[in-house]
Amino acid sequence: MDLLSFRLTRAQERVFLEIREDMRSPHPMNRLIQGDVGSGKTVVALLACLDAVECGYQAALMVPTEVLAEQHYLTLRNWMEPLGVRTVLLTSTVKGEERADLYERVQTGLPRWSSGPTP
């Protein structure tokens, strides 16, 4: 993880490896990662998402507020794009045609916009 400006803690590595093992199991996984603010829950979720993407799937990271979603989107986009992984931000304020377009592009794997900035 050279893209990160820090090393994972042992606890973060352990939790990610447990999640990875669960994801490779034929049984559904339900997991809640609990921790204080700044304890590394997001980076563990990111690693799980990258693991899913590496296996050919899409992944979604859900957060409880739009402000947090925007913050995570900006950070994760900077980490994911160098890896060739596209990210998009979908919040409750995205409506109508833009929302439908975003859904279609996520489903088909096409860029969000045909011209202009990519997410």
Per-block average pLDDT, block size 10, for the chain (119 residues)? 77 94 90 87 91 88 92 90 88 92 83 42
- One domain for residues 62 and 107: no
**Domain coverage including residue 97:** 92-119
pTM summary value? 0.78
Could you tell me if 15 and 33 are in contact, meaning their C-beta atoms sit under 8 angstroms apart? yes
- One domain for residues 38 and 78: yes
- One domain for residues 56 and 76: yes
Question: For residues 51 and 85, what is the distance between their CA atoms, to the nearest angstrom?
Answer: 12
- One domain for residues 66 and 30: yes
Question: For residues 106 and 100, what is the distance between their CA atoms, to the nearest angstrom?
Answer: 10
- One domain for residues 104 and 67: no
In a domain, 2, yes or no: no
Question: For residues 63 and 57, what is the distance between their CA atoms, to the nearest angstrom?
Answer: 20
In a domain, 44, yes or no: yes
- One domain for residues 40 and 53: yes
In a domain, 5, yes or no: no
Question: For residues 102 and 1, what is the distance between their CA atoms, to the nearest angstrom?
Answer: 29
- One domain for residues 83 and 97: no
Q: How many domains is the chain built from?
A: 2
**pLDDT in the model for residue 73:** 93
Question: For residues 101 and 12, what is the distance between their CA atoms, to the nearest angstrom?
Answer: 36
**pLDDT in the model for residue 114:** 40
In a domain, 4, yes or no: no
Q: In sequence order, which residues have a C-beta less than 8 Å from that of residue 61 and are 6 or more positions away?
A: 42, 45, 46, 49, 72, 76
